[in-house]
Chains A and B, each alone.
Chain A
Amino acid sequence: NAGVTQTPKFQVLKTGQSMTLQCAQDMNHEYMSWYRQDPGMGLRLIHYSVGAGITDQGEVPNGYNVSRSTTEDFPLRLLSAAPSQTSVYFCASSWEGDYGYTFGSGTRLTVV
């Protein structure tokens, strides 16, 4: 099935733990992004990539790290989880920049 696949779907972390949210797409899209969704705040851009080996910061990058070694994968790393990072995380990909983004189904993360 073509699309954006995110794993895991749910995760509970303790404060200070680290983890990686996985994102993979099989549409050969160059552009990939990570967003977080919080109640009443819409979706906010964390990091994005315009191709393998190229990443940049979005609106809320602090506490997160990304890398893009292949076109297909764009993992998001939480370095030291904090309760403020409790959120729903979405990965998205697009053939060309800001055209028609396809979103994954999300990862619901709770930091206790």
Chain B
Amino acid sequence: GENVEQHPSTLSVQEGDSAVIKCTYSDSASNYFPWYKQELGKGPQLIIDIRSNVGEKKDQRIAVTLNKTAKHFSLHITETQPEDSAVYFCAASRPGTASKLTFGTGTRLQVTL
């Protein structure tokens, strides 16, 4: 089955700096790669996703890049703010698998003043 590895497990940046979180996946058939943000005591919230026919996607300060050849994808957050502090999860799924998202182990991002 699919295996998703996520790095780093913790990341501390100063406010205004950029943050990058990287994930690799094992199943070359995977074609959907979402990113979720989880704040303390809450459920994960989808913040951005990308499909395998696209190499990059942006939404304001957040961007995701995908390298299908290398089987890795990354989350980029620019101009970080204290409210970006949370745990971020990447995930992957292959077509025809309905609800079977495989998640990475999470990255705890701390944005310091």
Contacts and interface: CB of A to CB of B under 8 A. Distances in A.
A42 B43 contact: no
A35 to B, nearest CB: 8
Interface in B81-113: 89, 93, 97-106
A101 B9 CA distance: 23
Nearest to B2: A59
Given A45-B99, A98-B97, A99-B32, A106 B43 contact: yes
B44 interface: yes
Of A35, A43, A48, A92, most B-chain CB atoms within 10 Å: A43
Contact of A45 (B6, B100, B106): B100
Interface residues of B, number: 26
Interface residues of A, number: 30
A40 B103 CA distance: 11
Interface in A24-65: 31-33, 35, 40-45, 48-50, 56, 58-59
Given A40-B105, A98-B93, A103 B45 contact: yes
A89 to B, nearest CB: 10
A75 interface: no
Contacts of A35: 103
B42 A97 contact: no
Interface string B28-49: 0000101010000111111001
Contacts of A50: 98-99
- 6 closest residue pairs by CB, A with B: A103-B43, A48-B99, A42-B103, A98-B93, A43-B103, A33-B99
Interface of B: 1, 4, 6, 9, 32, 34, 36, 41-46, 49, 89, 93, 97-106
8 contacts: A45-B100, A48-B98, A48-B99, A50-B99, A98-B32, A98-B98, A101-B99, A102-B46
